[in-house]
Amino acid sequence: MNERTIPDFIKKADEKFDEISKADKTAKKNKTLVGRYFKEQIADGYAFYLIVADNGKRCKVERITGIGDDWHIRRFEMNPWVSRREVVDNVERRDAIAALFGR
């Protein structure tokens, strides 16, 4: 990557994250998990996933790309239906940290 493309990459990643954050805030306001995102730490970064369905017991997730290194969690790629409890815990933890730091 040359110097001219790094600012473009950062700008696009920031725009994508802003888009995801807005959708997340809307879903939170509407008290639904669908439309929210969660992240899992992996290696030196995070894998980001969007919640696209919720059947009450499990949530279907899709990997979000374009906001970093595009890490993925193999088990979510093999089976995108994740325990609702796991998703709720992750989203609530992220919300609590954001509230703590006034975001």
Q: Please give the pLDDT value at position 103.
A: 65
Mean pLDDT, residues 69-88 taken together: 94
pLDDT single digits (tens) 18-60: 999 999 999 999 999 999 999 999 988 999 999 999 999 999 9
The one-letter amino acid code at 52 reads: V
Tokens (6 digits) for 87: 């998703």
Edge to edge, the sheet with strand 45-54 lists 37-42, 45-54, 58-64, 81-83
Number of domains in the chain: 1
Rounded CA gap, 48 and 16, in Å?
12
Rounded CA gap, 81 and 98, in Å?
26
Residues 2-18 as b or e (16 or more Cβ within 10 Å = b): eeeeeeeeeeeeeebbe
- Show the domain range for 30: 5-100
Its pTM surpasses 0.95: no
